Structure 1
Amino acid sequence: MQKPISITAVASISPLGKTLNETWESYQNDTHCITEMSLKKGSALVSKIPTEAQETIETLRLSDSKYKTLDRTVLYAIYASRLAIQQAGWKSSDNFGINIGSSRGATHLFETYYDDYLKNDKTKTLSSPTTTLGNISSWIAHDLQTKGPEISHSITCSTALHAVLNGIAWIQSGMCDKFLVGGSEAPLTPFTIAQMQALKIYAKNNSSYPCKALDLSKKQNTMVLGEGASVTCLEMGKHPNTLATIEGIGFATEILEHNISISSDAKCFQKSMRMALENINPETVDAIVMHAPGTIKGDLSELKAIQEVFKDKVPAVTSNKWKIGHTFGASGALSLELAILMLQHQKFIGVPYIKNKKAPKQIKTVLVNAVGFGGNAVSILLKQ
């Protein structure tokens, strides 16, 4: 890091709620947000945004005739982006950059258009422009009326934290003063769920905690899909409204042993964490918000990587996927949001079913991890 980068706002819409206050309030209880969703055949466990938040998104959809054809992935991102720049005090004339990514993009629309094509042997006029990944940041730029650079990308489940890396690079290069970064995902569709079930990583049991992220004694995979969007405002230096500063960044990609897996000791995470901690004493890290998707191998390999990097001084670890599921490309941004909230409120949000859980005495430095298919890990170090 050449100079500290400030996070001056964070906003989201997720199973936890549609405002930062609602989100923090939701974190105060040990109740998860996972429910059953009916499919064409049977049902599946998912984590949806609350009814009131769904109504807010529907109001947004109907507010502009052009928005009626947009996928929820785009609408979630527009909603969160509006809140973020309002909180940061940004104006459209600031011409800030935008990088909001997504692992899957317009999943619901794509499946709908494809079903229609199979039935009618033709498709609708807007089936292409409304299903490209690029339309997320483009529509946000349109909605916010900013003329700065806009980027959309997919780097699977580490997409949102890669957006943070991009924003930092643009700011530190001097090409942009401010960047809006994050991720959005609306993957609760039959085909997407079927894909995860085919990988044999999806939760089957609707127990007291269907997703057992960080439970290393689990005998089966317990990943559950969630939906939502989270964005943050990045600016160079420190400001009166700074929520947290980014003190270190790390990234790595490892050679694949399998299409979906990382090595047993997550070498990509070892590299990304060491890079993020390059100029920091590891013992000063108070907590780590892990990726921890709720799979047997995924949770264990990341923890092994943490133990390898921190040795016998492993900080308190946590994850929010037991509560809101795995939101794919938005997950890293929602983990970043959790880290910021813990720094602000000086309260550690742990995993309720973990025995002998460790809690830090203070929270001044938090490390956030994310990784996706392809072994592309990112680690972001936040400081109060």
Structure 2
Amino acid sequence: MLKEPISITALSSISSLGSESDEVWKSYLNKEHCLSYQKIGKQEVWASNLSNVVKKAIETLRQSDTKYNDLDDSVLFAIYTARKVIDKAGWETDSNFGVNIGSSRGATSLFEKYHQEFLDQGKSSTLASPTTTLGNISSWVAHDLKSKGPEISHSITCSTALHGLLNAVAWIQSGLTDKFLVGGSEAPLTPFTIAQMQALKIYSRMSSRAPACRTGRQSRDAEEQNYPCLAMDLEKKQNTMVLGEAAALACLEKGEKPNALALVAGIGYATEPLEHSVSISTDAQCFQDSMKMALKSAGTDQVDAIVMHAPGTIKGDVTEYNAIKKVFGNNLPFLTTNKWKVGHTFGASGLLSLELGVLMLQHQQYIPTPFFQNRDDKEMVDTVLVNAVGFGGNAVSILLKRPSQKKHTIS
């Protein structure tokens, strides 16, 4: 249980949804997905890319300092996004705040490059080790921002970013620091990473004929042609995970601040014994436990919406839904996810989901998915629960609340 609320004073992300809050919100309001059919390595697959404008900005960042020339995209994504988010929060560089930015896969592209060089030449590059360690992201962001607080990196598969938030909450509640920059960054669009997901038989095999999404409910066959990722379609007959590149960061501060976008009002986490090396139980006991922990002070009747992890796999979506039914019974909150639109961004995905939750609180509007029919008896959005889980059954649930001073206003 939290001793006092913790404010989210700024959020920033880069993904196929956009790179500014208003752009991201507009993407959520339309019915189109942000996925494209493209060639990665020797095959064509569905994936989710940053815009050309952001890619150009990342390349400019890379060339701005010789020290950045050899960094992986996952690190550069985080540096670029970190600069934006601390500016939004009004934090000064060269000040005392902690940094915890993780990644599920880390420097994937560089690791594959250096490994290929080793296979070809029988020796390793000088920079192979220092540029591919999982601690790279937080260290380089802290270096770039000249922060004076602790630097920590987590790599806990797809719940990485929310585990970073959990850790930051512990630091803030301990009194060791008042501010923490948290989140995740991922650049997983490499041939080997795609091949790993295909080996698990979870990657989308939808036809390349799928155009951007159309409005309205159509026949199932038609819908499966329109949507490469069927996240939260509980009747789908095949796995439809699609990978995406992204970075998403949040500024956390102790107490309820006047500029708070949302409050962290509850945190929950759990790990369950695995039934299979890559799956969780039928009723996702880890999610049940993490949600109950996050709701200790609120109660299930106080939750207006849940942003589900829902990766677009058959078992992943259904088991989480089963866990929600176990915890909430017949009084289900509004359920949604963003992976049908933006794909699965691994370590960054939890913070992208949290961003969706905060945007719904700010704009007082629920964002639906194309596949799940929610009840229409919810009006105000005051509390949102955000879920994330990854390989290993490590679930995290974060309860968000609208700041008290904004309860009677609508953005």
* Normalised-by-shorter TM-score class: over 0.9
Counterpart residue number, 1:348: 366
Counterpart residue number, 1:112: 113
Counterpart residue number, 1:194: 195
SS at match of 1:8: strand
Moved more, 86-95 or 220-229: 86-95
Counterpart residue number, 2:170: 169
Matched residues in 2 for 1:233 and 1:256: separation?
33
Q: TM-score, normalised to structure 1's length?
A: 0.98
Counterpart residue number, 1:209: 227
Q: 4+ residue runs of structure 1 moved beyond 6 angstroms?
A: none
Measure how far apart 1:95 and its partner are: 1.2
Matched residues in 1 for 2:9 and 2:378: separation?
25
Q: Map residues 1-384 of structure 1 onto 2, 5 A cutoff.
A: 1-206=2-207, 207-355=225-373, 358=376, 360-384=378-402
Q: TM-score, normalised to structure 2's length?
A: 0.92
Measure how far apart 1:80 and its partner are: 1.0
Measure how far apart 1:91 and its partner are: 1.1
CA contact (8 A) 1:316 1:359 kept: no
Q: Which amino acid aligns with 1:11?
A: S
CA contact (8 A) 1:185 1:327 kept: yes
Q: Which amino acid aligns with 1:290?
A: M
Consecutive unaligned residues of structure 2, counting only runs of 5 or more, are 208-224, 403-411
Identity level (%): 63
1:22-66 Cα distance to aligned partner (Å, 9 max, x none) = 111111111111112213432111111111111111111111111
Matched residues in 2 for 1:355 and 1:302: separation?
16
Matched residues in 1 for 2:205 and 2:377: separation?
30
Change in Cα spacing, 1:145 to 1:356, as seen in structure 2 (3 Å) is: closer
Matched residues in 2 for 1:112 and 1:358: separation?
51
Q: Which amino acid aligns with 1:329?
A: G
1:115-152 Cα distance to aligned partner (Å, 9 max, x none) = 11111111211111010111100000010011210001
Moved more, 284-293 or 21-30: 21-30
Matched residues in 2 for 1:9 and 1:184: separation?
17
Consecutive unaligned residues of structure 1, counting only runs of 5 or more, are none
Moved more, 314-323 or 145-154: 145-154
Q: Which amino acid aligns with 1:76?
A: F
SS at match of 2:196: helix
CA contact (8 A) 1:348 1:359 kept: no
1:226-253 Cα distance to aligned partner (Å, 9 max, x none) = 1100000001101111000011000000
Change in Cα spacing, 1:131 to 1:357, as seen in structure 2 (3 Å) is: farther
1:289-339 Cα distance to aligned partner (Å, 9 max, x none) = 000000000000000000000011110100000000000010000000000
Give the length in aligned residue pairs: 384
The alignment yields a C-alpha RMSD, in angstroms, of: 1.1
Matched residues in 1 for 2:247 and 2:373: separation?
31
